[in-house]
Every structure is written in structure tokens, then in C-alpha cells.
């Protein structure tokens, strides 16, 4: 095993945190925080493993595929939590169909979670610089391509969701790099978009819009919630304007 690096120390810390959050999740899989936390941990470790050399990625991939399966299995349960939270903000306290759907999805997810095995930590000790450049360049290129589209059309829900995921992944990559490498990538992103973006702030704005989009989709399937649908669409439009203004201010 190679000498310890900032990357390997951060990854090992995140893997240990993942195991702890997995235990918390299995103890109470219906808890909203536990669902959120296990999903964040899986995503962070997934990004880190994607930066390993090819041989190390292959050694981890089989075991980690089940973690990704858990991430997917919890996706709709997480959406139920998001919708319930948004409805509570609109004055609706309980929605039985959301509770039933979440319980069903969690029951399946728990089966996956109980089967998970630990990752071979002994191989996690090196960062593949070429992989960092390849993945970050792809993300920055896609962000550059999509930004003009989403800034000029509030209806591009899929594109907004795509850019939110790309920004999140790029932010996670930065967390695994030393300060000097972080500066290089941030400068590349700034050059590509014409602005020095605050990734966390941008991700938060896009996340709020996504939460509204998920809720709007649900409300459209509920004929008795037409007034709530109109209110949620209005909130979503205001959040979109905040996002556009945020980006325009960064470019001014």
C-alpha cells in the first residue's frame, strides 16, 4: 500500500462514515435523516472510487454496485419525504398514499442494505490524476453546454436536474483534491461559464427547484390539489428567478 495522501485519508474517512450511516439506516430506515445521509455518503464514495486507477476501480466495483443499488432503491422513498415536506409547507400535514409508497420502497431497500459487504480498504490509497482531469473536464463541458439552456427556459426540468447532479459531483471531486488542484479546476469552471460560481450555493438553489419539480409532478396526479399545484408552481417560478438572478450577478 502506498503512503497516505490527503485523498486516501479523506476517502477512508468517508467510507467509515458510510458504514456508520448504514448502521443508522438499518436501525431506522424510515427516518428521513437516515435516508438522506446514507444517500449522500454513497454518492461521495462513488465519486471517490471513480477517481481510482483502473485496477483499483475494478476491485471495488462489484461490492460497491450493491451500494449503488441501495441508492437507487431509496430514491423514490426520498422523493416521498421531499413531497411530504413541501406539502407540509403548503398546509397539508398527512398524505396516506405517500406514507404507503415510502413504506413499500423502504421494505425493498432494507433487503439490499442488509446484504452489503465492506469495501476492500487496503487498495484505496492512490488518486489517478488522469481520471480527475477526464471526469472533471467532462462535467465542466456539460455544465458549460447546459447553462445557457436552463438560464433562458424555466421549463427545462431535466436539464436543470442534470446540471444539479453535475455540480454536486464536481463539488465532491474538489473535496478530495489538495487546495492547489482545487484552484485549477475552479478556474477552469470559471473560464467555461464566465463566472466564479459558489458551487454549494448553486447546488442549494438548484436543489430547491428540484424539490418543487418533484412536488409539482405529484400534485398534477392529484385532482383535489389544484390550488396547491398553482401555489407550488408559483413558488417554483420564484426560485427559478432567484437562480437566474444569482447567475447574472455572478456574470456582472
pLDDT digits (tens, 9 = 90+) for 42-92: 999 999 999 998 888 888 888 899 999 999 999 999 999 999 999 998 888
59/81 Cα distance (integer angstroms)? 34
Of all residues in the chain, the percent with pLDDT exceeding 90 is 65
Instruction: Encode burial over 137-155: b for 16+ CB neighbours within 10 A, e otherwise.
Output: eebbebbeebbeebeeebe
- Is the Cβ–Cβ distance between 167 and 218 less than 8 Å? no
Is the torsion defined by CA of 141, 145, 146, 151 positive or negative?
Answer: positive
163/139 Cα distance (integer angstroms)? 9
- The mean pLDDT value of the chain amounts to 90
Give the DSSP letter of residue 246. Answer: H
> Is residue 1 predicted with pLDDT exceeding 70?
no
- Mean pLDDT of all residues in 152-160: 94
Quickly count: other Cβ atoms within 10 Å of residue 80's Cβ. 24
- Looking at residue 135, what is its pLDDT? 95
Q: What share of the chain is helix, strand, coil (3-state, %, to 5)?
A: 80, 0, 20
Global pTM value = 0.91
Of 29-43, 168-182, 228-242, the one with minimum mean pLDDT is 168-182
Amino acid at each position: 500500500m502506498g503512503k497516505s495522501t490527503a485523498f486516501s485519508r479523506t476517502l477512508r474517512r468517508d467510507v467509515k462514515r458510510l458504514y456508520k450511516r448504514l448502521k443508522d439506516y438499518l436501525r431506522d430506515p424510515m427516518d428521513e435523516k437516515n435516508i438522506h445521509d446514507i444517500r449522500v455518503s454513497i454518492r461521495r464514495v462513488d465519486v471517490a472510487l471513480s477517481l481510482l486507477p483502473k485496477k483499483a476501480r475494478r476491485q471495488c466495483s462489484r461490492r460497491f454496485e450493491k451500494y449503488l443499488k441501495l441508492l437507487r432503491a431509496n430514491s423514490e422513498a426520498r422523493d416521498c419525504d421531499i413531497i411530504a415536506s413541501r406539502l407540509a409547507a403548503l398546509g397539508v400535514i398527512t398524505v396516506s398514499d405517500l406514507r404507503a409508497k415510502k413504506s413499500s420502497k423502504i421494505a425493498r431497500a432494507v433487503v439490499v442494505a442488509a446484504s452489503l459487504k465492506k469495501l476492500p480498504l487496503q487498495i484505496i490509497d492512490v488518486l489517478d490524476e488522469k481520471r480527475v482531469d477526464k471526469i472533471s473536464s467532462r462535467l465542466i463541458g456539460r455544465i458549460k453546454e447546459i447553462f445557457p439552456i436552463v438560464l433562458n427556459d424555466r421549463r427545462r426540468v431535466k436539464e436543470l436536474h442534470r446540471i444539479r447532479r453535475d455540480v454536486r459531483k464536481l463539488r465532491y471531486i474538489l473535496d478530495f483534491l489538495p487546495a492547489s488542484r482545487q484552484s485549477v479546476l475552479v478556474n477552469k469552471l470559471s473560464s467555461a461559464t464566465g463566472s466564479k460560481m459558489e458551487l454549494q450555493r448553486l447546488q442549494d438553489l438548484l436543489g430547491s427547484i428540484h424539490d418543487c419539480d418533484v412536488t409539482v409532478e405529484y400534485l398534477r396526479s392529484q385532482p383535489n390539489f389544484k390550488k396547491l399545484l398553482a401555489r407550488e408552481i408559483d413558488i417554483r417560478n420564484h426560485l427559478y428567478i432567484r437562480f437566474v438572478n444569482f447567475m447574472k450577478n455572478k456574470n456582472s
